Structure formats: structure tokens, C-alpha cells
């Protein structure tokens, strides 16, 4: 094999590797597709709180939350959960724990290892003051990748989801789109959503509204009770 053949082979391997990595990142963060629900049998609402884990709510050298921001959002999530449970609506939490060597390697390089197996911050933030009706572990952004979530929602007749948690630009966005694609009515409790990129979140929020997500806030919800 001459030098140019070797160069071409190496370039091909690198190209395949880049393509696979891009595909894997899309899988990790993009919405999933699934069967459309029968809304006639789905009259219940539920609160879905995404990935409020110690790994993601803490400050790191590369990522600093604004002072008081996390505490404020968690307080609103606690209030939403209390109100939902008073109405007899299920409250579901999710935790993101990446699976697979390639995914863990990617997140180790790009995400400082947060959410990877072996991290000490995979549990829910201790400032959450409610007991969820279900706590579901997922390995990608869209919670609907979990068969457990779909089964729980079907069992409880849920057709309307109110979403809170983090991160607005990633897991919140992909889960909201995954829910819409399956026929759920989706409410976004915008003042109970956390995003480290507030400018990017403003753009994502606009996109979600354009696709049918309804924006609500905790004060409006409390007044409606």
C-alpha cells in the first residue's frame, strides 16, 4: 500500500468516525418518533420534571448558573408538583444517565462527564421536596425513548403533559417535540425550566411555540386552582 493509499484510508476512517459521531449526537439530543396516542382515552394530565440532577444543577468551572437561578426554578418545580398531586395528577421525574462506551466518551469530552455512569451527581437534586409517582432513567435527551414512560402514561390515561426541568435547549426541547409527535397536548412551565444558555433557550422556546407547545407559568397555574 503506497503512501497515498494510506492517506486515503485514514481519511475514510476519519470521515466514517465523524459521521457516526454526528449521528450519535443527534440520537442523544434529538426527538424520537412513536405511535400516536388515542386522545379519546387520555383525559388525565401529568407533570414531567426532566433531569433535575446534582450533576446538572451544580456549578462547574466551565458552567456557572446565575446567582439564585437554580434555587428559584426548583422552588417553582416544587410548587407545581405539590399542586399537581393535590389535583390527583401524577408527577414523573426523569434522570439522564448516558449508556454505551461511545456516548460516555463523547460526553466525557464535550460535557465534562456529567451524566455519565460513575459520576457522583446522578441522583435527583436534594432540594426537590416531593416524592414522584415514577422516577424514570433515560439514556438520551427525549424522555419518550423510554418504554417505561410511555407505559406509565398509557396506564394513567395521560394525554396532557406539563413539562419542567432542564436543559431547555436539549432534553426539554426534544421531549416536548417527542410528545407533540405522539399526539400529546404539551404545556411548558417556562418559569420552571432551566437552561444554561438563556439566549439559545429564547430561540428554542419560540420554535416550540410555533410547533404547538403552550406556554404557562407557575403563577397562572396557581391562580387557576
Residue 107, pLDDT score? 47
Residue 28, pLDDT score? 60
Cα end-to-end distance, the chain, whole Å: 75
pTM: 0.83
Q: Which residues of 160-187 are buried (b: 16+ CB within 10 A; e: fewer)?
A: bbbbbbbbbbbbbbbbbbbbbbbebbbb
215 φ, ψ to 5°? -90, 130
Residue 121, pLDDT score? 87
* Distance, CA of 39 to CA of 111 (rounded, Å): 38
Residue 153, pLDDT score? 97
Residue 217, pLDDT score? 81
Hey, what's the cell of 157?
390515561
**Which stretches of the chain are DSSP H helices?**
3-29, 54-57, 69-86, 101-110, 147-155, 173-181, 198-210, 218-224
Given a contact cutoff of 8 angstroms between Cβ atoms, the answer to whether 81 and 133 are in contact is no
Residue 118, pLDDT score? 75
Tens-digit pLDDT profile for the chain (225 aa)? Answer: 454 444 443 333 334 333 333 344 445 668 999 999 998 989 999 999 999 999 999 988 878 999 999 999 999 999 999 999 999 999 999 999 876 544 444 544 444 557 677 788 899 999 999 999 999 999 899 999 999 999 999 999 999 999 999 999 999 999 999 999 999 999 999 999 999 999 999 999 999 999 999 999 876 655 555
Q: Which residues of 66-92 are buried (b: 16+ CB within 10 A; e: fewer)?
A: eeeebeebbebbbbbbebbbeeebbbb
Residue 225, pLDDT score? 54
Are β-strands 134-138 and 158-166 bridged in parallel, bridged antiparallel, or unpaired?
A: unpaired
Amino acid at each position: 500500500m503506497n503512501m497515498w493509499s494510506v492517506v486515503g484510508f485514514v481519511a475514510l476512517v476519519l470521515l466514517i468516525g465523524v459521521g457516526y459521531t454526528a449521528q450519535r449526537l443527534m440520537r442523544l439530543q434529538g426527538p424520537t418518533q412513536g405511535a400516536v396516542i388515542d386522545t379519546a382515552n387520555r383525559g388525565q394530565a401529568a407533570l414531567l420534571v426532566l433531569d433535575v440532577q446534582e450533576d446538572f444543577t451544580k456549578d462547574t468551572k466551565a458552567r456557572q448558573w446565575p446567582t439564585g437561578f437554580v434555587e428559584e426554578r426548583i422552588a417553582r418545580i416544587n410548587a407545581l408538583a405539590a399542586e399537581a398531586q393535590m389535583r390527583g395528577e401524577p408527577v414523573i421525574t426523569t434522570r439522564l444517565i448516558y449508556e454505551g462506551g461511545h456516548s460516555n466518551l463523547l460526553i466525557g469530552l464535550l460535557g465534562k462527564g456529567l451524566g455519565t455512569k460513575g459520576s457522583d451527581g446522578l441522583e435527583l437534586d436534594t432540594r426537590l421536596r416531593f416524592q414522584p409517582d415514577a422516577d424514570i432513567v433515560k439514556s438520551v435527551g427525549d424522555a419518550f425513548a423510554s418504554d417505561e414512560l410511555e407505559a406509565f402514561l398509557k396506564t394513567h390515561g395521560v394525554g396532557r403533559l406539563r413539562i419542567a426541568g432542564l436543559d431547555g435547549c436539549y432534553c426539554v426541547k426534544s421531549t416536548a417535540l417527542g410528545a407533540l409527535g405522539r399526539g400529546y397536548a404539551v404545556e411548558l412551565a417556562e418559569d420552571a425550566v432551566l437552561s444554561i444558555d438563556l439566549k439559545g433557550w429564547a430561540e428554542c422556546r419560540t420554535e416550540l411555540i410555533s410547533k404547538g407547545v403552550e406556554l404557562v407559568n407557575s403563577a397562572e397555574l396557581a391562580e387557576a386552582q
